[in-house]
Structures are given as C-alpha cells and as structure tokens.
Structure 1
Amino acid sequence: MEEKEWYLEYQINKNRPGLLGEIASLLGLLSINIITINGVEHQRRGMLIKSKNDEAILRLKYILETMDFISLRKIREPKLRDRLAVRHGRYIERDEDEKKTFRFIRDELGLLVDFMAELFKQDGHRLIGIRGMPRVGKTESVVAASVCASKRWSFLSSTLLRQTIRSQLAEDELSKDHIYIIDGIVSTMRASERHQLLISEIMRLSATKVVEHPDIFVRETEYTLEDFDYIIELRIDEGEKITYDTVDSGFSSFDIS
C-alpha cells in the first residue's frame, strides 16, 4: 500500500515543555511519518504527515480527541490552503460567504505568489480575478507566480509600463502552458473590436486567464463573477477599501495601475 498524505491541525489549550515531543512520539508509535510541521495561527500547529495505513490515522484521531491539553481541529487529506499554511506559517484569509474569494495584504506578497503559482501549475481552463487599487502589486505578483510555476505569460492588455492592447498573438503564444493576463478596464473600455475578438478567442482556450479588475470586466461583458474560479483581493493593509469610483471612459488613476 502506498503512503498517503494527511493534514493534521490542533489547538494548544495548555502549552507545556515536551508537548510536541509527546505528539511526535505518538505518531512514531503508529508508524506515521512527519513531513512538515509549523505554527499556522496563534496557539495552533499544523503538520503534513504520511502513513500507509488509514487505520493508524483513525487511531490517531481517536487518541488526540481524548487529550485535554490540545483540541484536534482538522485531520484530512491536505488542501492547497493547508500546504501553504504549513509552508508559510499562516492561513490564507478566505471570505466566509464567498468561498472562492481570498484576501491578501501587500506584506503577504510571498504567500500570494506561492498561492497563485500552485494554481498556475494546474492544467486546464482556469479563470482568476484579482482586485486591488493602483500600484499595490497585482501585475507584478501574477508575473512572479508565472515564473515560479515555470509558465510563460502574455499580456493581452496592461498598464504595467505603458498601455498595452494586443490585437493578435504570435503562434508560440497560443498554448495551454501560457498564463494570459488581461486588464479588465483596458480591455473593455479602451480597446478596439479586434482586441475584444482576441479576448473572446483566448477565453475559449483551455488555459489559465488572470483578469485584473474583474468587476469592471463583468460589468462591461457577458461574463459574470460566477464564471471565475478564484477571486483574489490585494490591499496595502486590511483597512483599505477597493473602489472603482474613478473609472469611466476617460483617464483615471487605474490607467497607471
């Protein structure tokens, strides 16, 4: 039987010397190996563990639930958020109502890049929206994540250096291994019909598309937010409000975002 990975997370109710050693010893007795361990929130610890025996995991769950100095929170097959929590020592903030919306601040750019890189590594169609005010790091994060995922990227529209509006792509830019980056404001409010035809063509490709300013994109096209697989929000700090009040058909601060 092949070894299977699990994510284990527990809350420390009463911290005392040797606690981690006792849990590690318990895992050893059950022939469960620790792959990675880290604190993931205040007084919480997360582990990636591996075992060939599902029965051993059930026994571990039963034993941990009887301990009064910890509270077992999760024991499950690891999700992407679990792996990143152990890797970075904190959980990605996720909207409780909109489960596909994930929030970051600029101090968490490393975590954001790692998160997007893992999404970019997955095959097939994926539509990702990223919200944020100008100069917060949206485009740079997408490019960095593409590099981390060993993917090529193409700007269909952008204001990173100067306004970019593509009306055609080279043959080697049309592949499922590309990351296509679209500025939702530029593509819907500044672009020609030829550019919009290109956008329609790319949206049909089985590849990853990242749309900056998805709210403007869906406002001006036939797409809806339900068409997006993930929505990412990037702020300078937790108190910043993302607003599009200045966006119209003329010049706005988003033209230099």
Structure 2
Amino acid sequence: MEKNEWYFEYEIQKNRPGLLGEITSLLGMLSINIITINGVENSRRGMLLLSEFDENIIRFKTILQMMETIKITKIRKPKLKDKLAVRHGKYIHTDVDDRKTFRFVRDELGLLVDFMAELFKQDGHKLIGIRGMPRVGKTESVVAASVCANKRWLFVSSTMLKQTVRNQLIDGEYGADTTYIMDGIVSTRRANEKHWQLIREIMQLPAVKIVEHPDIFVQTTEYSLDDFDYIIELRNFEEEEITYETFEQQQFSGESGLSMFDF
C-alpha cells in the first residue's frame, strides 16, 4: 500500500527533557516514519511524516491531545509552505487580507528562491507578480529560482543590464521550460504596441511569467491583479513601505546612465 505524507506541527507549552523522544517513540510504535524534523520559529516544531494508514495518524493525534506539555497546531496533508517551513526553519508569511500574497524580507532570500523554484517546477501557465524597492534582490531571486528549477530565463523587459524592451522572440525562445521576466514599469512607460503584442502572446503560453511591479503593469493594460496566481513582496526589512516614486525617477530620469536597448 502506498504511504501518504503528513505535516505535523506542535507548540511547546512546557519544555522538559525527553519530550521530543516521547513523541518520536510514539510515532515509531504507530509505524509512522519521520521524513524531516525542524524547529519552525519560536517554540514550535514541525515534522514531515510518512504513514501507510491514515488511521494511525488519527490515533497519534488523539494521544497527543491528552498531553499538557504540547499543543497541536497542524496535522494535515502537507502544503508547499509546510515543506519549506521544515526545510528552512521559517514560515512563509501571507497577507492577512489576501492569501495569494506572500511576504519575504531580504535575509530570507534562500527561502524565497526555494519557494519560487517549487512554483516554477509546476506545469502550465503561472503568472507571478513581485513587488519590492530597487536593489532588494527581486530579479536576482527570479534568476536563481529559474536555475534551481532547471528553467531558462528570458528578459522581455528589464533594467538588469540595460533598459531592455523586446518586440519579438526567435523560435528557440518559446517553450514551457522558459521563465519570462517582465518589468511592469519599463513595459508601461517605454514600450510600443509591438511589445504589448509580444506580451499578450507570451501570456498564452503554458509557462511561468514573472512581472516585477505588477501594480504599475495593470494600470494601463487589460490585465488586473486578479489575473495573478501569486503576488510576492520582498522588503529590506519588515516595516519597509514599497513605493514607486523614487524608483521611477531613478529609472527614467537618466540618472542611471542606462540606454534603451530594443530588439
């Protein structure tokens, strides 16, 4: 019989020696294997488990609910954020009002890259927006995630090297194994109709599309934030406000010294 994965997370109410040993011994008696175990912030610990019988997971939960030293916070089939929490020892934080918005700070770049790489590995169309101030690591994280996911990356519009605006692609640049990267500010402020025709064409491909500055991208187009599957916010620190005024001035006032690069 096939074994099923489970995510188990608990909060320590009263820490004492041997507590973890008692839990792992109970798992062993119920023939539940531990795949991964790690602390996941503060006094919580998470485990990825493998069990042939779901009934054993129910028994495990029932017994633990009688223990006063711990409080069960999650027992469920693992989600992507559960696996990454155990792998990195940190939660991925979502927006309270918008569950498709995920928040990261700069010292969590490893977690962010891992998260995006797992999204990139999934088949089919995926539209992902990423917000953040200049030089916080947005583009570099997207490129690194593409490498981790064994995907090629292609700048449709960008300021990574020069202000780049593509008006067409060549045959070898089409494909589901490519991550298409667009800068919402560059496309909106500097692009022509041929560029937008290319974007519409790319949007139809069963591939991953990344839009930096999605709020600017949707202002003058037929696309809306509802079209995005995920929104990622990357900050230098948690309280940082993401604004666009300074960024737009730097990009388009000529202070950067970058020239337009049309294909």
- Alignment TM-score, normalising by the size of structure 2: 0.94
Deviation at 1:102, TM superposition (A): 0.5
Distance 2:35 2:188 in 1: 47
Distance 1:255 1:125 in 2: 36
Distance 1:74 1:191 in 2: 48
Distance 2:139 2:6 in 1: 34
Deviation at 1:170, TM superposition (A): 1.6
- Alignment TM-score, normalising by the size of structure 1: 0.96
Deviation at 1:189, TM superposition (A): 1.2
Identity %: 69
Q: Could you tell me which residue of structure 1 aligns to residue 54 of structure 2?
A: 54
Any conservation in 2 of the 1:176–1:206 contact (CA below 8 Å)? yes
SS of 2:81 mapped into structure 1 = helix
Distance 2:81 2:184 in 1: 27
Cα distance change on mapping 1:255 and 1:184 into 2, 3 Å: farther
Structure 2 counterparts to residues 1-257 of structure 1, below 5 A: 1-246=1-246, 247=248, 250-251=252-253
SS of 2:55 mapped into structure 1 = helix
Any conservation in 2 of the 1:134–1:254 contact (CA below 8 Å)? no
Segments of 5+ residues of structure 2 without an aligned counterpart are 259-263
Q: What RMSD over aligned residues (CA atoms) do the two structures have, in Å?
A: 1.6
Cα distance change on mapping 1:223 and 1:254 into 2, 3 Å: farther
SS of 1:37 mapped into structure 2 = strand
The ranges of structure 1 where at least 4 consecutive aligned residues each deviate by more than 3 angstroms after the TM superposition are 246-250, 252-256
Distance 2:192 2:223 in 1: 18
Any conservation in 2 of the 1:131–1:214 contact (CA below 8 Å)? yes
Cα distance change on mapping 1:141 and 1:245 into 2, 3 Å: same
Distance 1:122 1:252 in 2: 39
SS of 1:220 mapped into structure 2 = coil
Distance 1:153 1:53 in 2: 42
Alpha-carbon deviations, 1:26-81, whole Å to 9, x = none? 00000000000000021000000000001101101111111110001100000000
Segments of 5+ residues of structure 1 without an aligned counterpart are none
Cα distance change on mapping 1:206 and 1:45 into 2, 3 Å: same
Alpha-carbon deviations, 1:155-190, whole Å to 9, x = none? 100001111111111211100111100000111110
SS of 1:82 mapped into structure 2 = helix
Q: Could you tell me which residue of structure 1 aligns to residue 261 of structure 2?
A: none
Deviation at 1:245, TM superposition (A): 2.7
